[in-house]
């Protein structure tokens, strides 16, 4: 059974990723680290605890991470994810508490408790992971694999013209993580950048398919709806996912991308559980820290110009064996797992 540790800045799409992990019957989610990013770290922690409660999984420890990036002030993204990070979703205040561990310690103790077994998933800025690597440089060799949602490869950024959000919030941390994996033998981190994750587009039709498969009648969302219209789904998990997603749809719509949303983090979660979903290219990745226009850019050396060992397996697409586009394969899988889970929660 895959043993997973997730470091998240929940976040609408992080919430969808957690739902996927919790819904996957073959996964042992041994810890969740809260990282500052889409919103402040205390709010991220509350979101994680509240989601676990909604999903009947309060036994999973949630740790609190650093309130700030390694060396710059924190920026947050309430414009993208809503005032609490969960769009329009309103979850009751959690009745559980975070674990006594700091998130960096939680990374280290999870890796030592499951040597060679742990799958790490990072879907937020990598502050906690960088701090964990400073404290225990052996960490890369202890992990079975690490999957990162972050960066953008031969593709535009979403925070600056060249930088992706998770890297832009804490570029120093990202640079330290890539450097640490270059310095150690072990599996290369699988890196899901915008070049692939922006092709994973959720639409109202896909959300309606999810609700339908969960046996939860709903009203399909539409760009004509009054902003902030609440879900009519009867299933509590589907309702939260829809209320969260509506905000994310509205954000993307306002960006001129259509009434849809990129599901970066759930896609990375799916890759974490099953890397055979994707095709990768190995490269040496470094993060630009000094450029006046390009700070936070993930630069991939595919041609060995730097003469440094590869430190990343960059996800570049689906596999030739897949008969459908990668996004279709992903959403098929997402609905097949999350819908029955939502049904079970309501029964
Ligand atoms: C990443 O940025 C965040 O806003 C999302 O949660 C995702 O992890 C995409 O750039
Ligand atoms: Ca995220």
Helix then strand count (H, E) for the chain reads 13, 11
Q: Which atom from ligand 1 is nearest to the alpha carbon of 265?
A: 8
Interval between CA 201 and ligand 1 midpoint (Å): 13
Distance separating alpha carbons of residues 243 and 183, to the nearest angstrom = 43
Mutation probe of ligand 1 site: the residue of 151, 171, 265 with most atoms within 8 A of C-beta: 265
Neighbours of 258 (CB within 10 A): 12
From first to last of its 347 residues, the chain has per-residue pLDDT tens of 899 999 999 999 999 999 999 999 989 999 999 999 999 999 999 999 999 999 999 999 999 999 999 999 999 999 999 999 999 999 999 999 999 999 999 999 999 999 999 999 999 999 999 999 999 999 999 999 999 999 999 999 999 999 999 999 999 999 999 999 988 777 999 999 999 999 999 999 999 999 999 999 899 999 999 999 999 999 999 999 999 999 999 999 999 999 999 999 999 999 999 999 999 999 999 999 999 999 999 999 999 999 999 999 999 999 999 999 999 999 999 999 999 999 999 98
Ligand 1 atom 10: the closest Cα is on which residue?
Answer: 165
Q: Which atom from ligand 1 is nearest to the alpha carbon of 197?
A: 9
Task: Tell how strand 190-192 and strand 312-318 pair up.
Answer: parallel
- State the pLDDT at residue 184: 78
pTM: 0.98
Neighbours of 294 (CB within 10 A): 15
Neighbours of 25 (CB within 10 A): 9
Q: What are the backbone angles phi and psi of residue 138, rounded to the nearest 5°? A: -80, -10
Proximal ligand: closest to the CA of 7: 2
Most distant CA pair in the chain, distance: 58
Find out whether the beta carbon of 77 lies less than 6 Å from any atom of ligand 1.
Answer: yes
Mutation probe of ligand 1 site: the residue of 44, 149, 168, 262 with most atoms within 8 A of C-beta: 149
> Which residues are marked as active site?
264
Distance separating alpha carbons of residues 264 and 16, to the nearest angstrom = 10
Q: Which fold has domain 3-195+271-321?
A: Inosine-uridine Nucleoside N-ribohydrolase; Chain A (3.90.245)
Q: Which atom from ligand 1 is nearest to the alpha carbon of 124?
A: 8
- Token pair in block for residue 224: 């004509």
Q: What are the backbone angles phi and psi of residue 188, rounded to the nearest 5°? A: -70, 140
Interval between CA 192 and ligand 1 midpoint (Å): 11
CA atoms within 13 A on the CB side of 20: 28
Find out whether the beta carbon of 76 lies less than 6 Å from any atom of ligand 1.
Answer: no
Neighbours of ion ligand 2 (CB under 5 A): 9, 11, 14, 123-124, 265
- State the pLDDT at residue 183: 83
Interval between CA 179 and ligand 2 midpoint (Å): 22
Q: What are the backbone angles phi and psi of residue 301, rounded to the nearest 5°? A: -95, 95
Output b/e per residue, 187-225; b: 16+ Cβ within 10 A: ebbbbbbbbbbbbbbbbbebbbbbbebbebebeebeeee
Peptide bond into 11 cis (omega under 30): yes
The residue ranges of every structural domain in the chain are 3-195+271-321
Neighbours of 173 (CB within 10 A): 28
Find out whether the beta carbon of 152 lies less than 6 Å from any atom of ligand 1.
Answer: no
What SS3 state is found at 14?
helix
């Amino acid at each position: 059974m895959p043993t997973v540790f997730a470091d998240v800045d929940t976040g609408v799409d992080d919430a969808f990723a957690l739902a996927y992990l919790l819904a996957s019957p073959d996964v042992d989610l041994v810890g969740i680290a809260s990282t500052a990013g889409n919103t402040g770290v205390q709010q991220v922690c509350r979101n994680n605890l509240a989601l676990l409660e909604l999903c009947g999984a309060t036994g999973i420890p949630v740790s609190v991470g650093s309130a700030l990036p390694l060396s710059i002030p924190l920026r947050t993204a309430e414009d993208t994810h809503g005032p609490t990070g969960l769009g329009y979703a309103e979850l009751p205040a959690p009745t559980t508490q975070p674990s006594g561990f700091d998130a960096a310690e939680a990374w280290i103790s999870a890796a030592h408790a499951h040597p060679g077994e742990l799958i790490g998933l990072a879907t937020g800025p990598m502050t906690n992971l960088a701090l964990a690597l400073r404290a225990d440089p052996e960490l890369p060799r202890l992990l079975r694999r690490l999957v990162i949602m972050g960066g953008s490869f031969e593709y535009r950024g979403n925070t600056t013209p060249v930088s992706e959000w998770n890297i832009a919030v804490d570029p120093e941390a990202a640079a330290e993580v890539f450097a640490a994996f270059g310095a150690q033998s072990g599996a290369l981190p699988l890196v899901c950048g915008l070049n692939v994750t922006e092709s994973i587009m959720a639409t109202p039709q896909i959300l309606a398919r999810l609700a339908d498969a969960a046996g939860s009648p709903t009203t399909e969302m539409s760009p004509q709806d009054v902003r902030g219209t609440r879900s009519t789904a009867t299933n509590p998990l589907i309702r939260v996912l829809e209320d969260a997603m509506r905000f994310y749809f509205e954000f993307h719509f306002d960006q001129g991308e259509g009434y849809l949303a990129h599901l970066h983090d759930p896609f990375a979660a799916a890759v974490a559980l099953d890397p055979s979903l994707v095709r990768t290219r190995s490269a040496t990745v470094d993060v630009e820290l000094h450029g006046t226009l390009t700070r936070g850019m993930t630069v991939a050396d595919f041609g060995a110009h730097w003469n440094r060992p590869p430190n990343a397996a960059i996800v570049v697409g689906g596999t030739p064996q897949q008969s459908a586009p990668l996004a279709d394969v992903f959403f098929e899988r997402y609905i097949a797992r999350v819908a029955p889970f939502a049904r079970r929660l309501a029964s």
